[in-house]
Amino acid sequence: MEEMVKGESVIARQDYNLYGININGKEGIYCDTNKETGRALIYFPEVDEYGEIIDFERVNPGVVPENNNNFAKRLSKLEFTIERNFTGFGSTIGDRR
């Protein structure tokens, strides 16, 4: 399978409850794939939420539709800017380093 492109349109093909709505058959925007779980992070504009989906269909592989471009350009990986341990930000109590 060709590598997925951030912003591709996909259609969910599994029953998945996203805040009370079954998104099976709904169109979403591909964001990324979790390498550990194999689940794709997909944004569903109709619900305005993200879901981690395994079974989905690519609408047009490798192509980002014009209406998904702005959304896809704004996506970025979460980067931690401060180290946190179990006792809170900046605390050294219980630090196991």
pLDDT tens digit sequence for 46-89: 999 999 999 999 999 999 999 999 999 988 887 767 666 556 65
Q: Is the pLDDT of residue 9 over 80?
A: yes
Please check the confidence at residue 97 and state whether its pLDDT lies above 90: no
- Tell which phi-psi region holds residue 47, choosing left (phi > 0), alpha (psi between -120 and 50) or beta: alpha
Collapsed DSSP state (helix, strand, coil) of residue 30: strand
Question: pLDDT for 10-48, tens place per residue?
Answer: 999 999 999 999 999 999 999 999 989 999 999 999 999
Alpha helices by DSSP H, listed for the chain, are: 66-74
